[in-house]
Amino acid sequence: MKELTPEEREVILEGGTEVPFSGVYVDNHEKGIYRCKQCGNALFTSDAKFDSGTGWPSFTDPAVAESVGTRPDPDGTRTEVYCKNCSGHLGHVFDDGPVDRSGKRYCINSICLDFEKN
């Protein structure tokens, strides 16, 4: 497991949310794979990324379904997305993604991700 900064811990371990449009990967258009910042688990590919206009990197599908889990958020109104390998908080999933793909929008905090360029 990677040692996290205080900001990374706040989001990944405590379920926080980074400020919209502040993350390093919001406007990343390079080809590659997004991995969990804490454990390196492969989470999402650049092929599944799309511009949702929300201020957070958004994806239609996980790279491997088994790498990402979902559970009801404590507030009862959203569905949390977490890394199945280390249980780190990643963001939330919504049913307002592109209908011609999965219909899902995995809204992920950049601070939870590392990017591996192809």
Catalytic residues: 107
Burial profile 29-61: b = 16 or more Cβ within 10 angstroms, e = fewer:
eeeebbbbbbeebbbbbbebbeebeeebbbbbb
From CA 111, how far away is CA 102, in angstroms rounded? 24
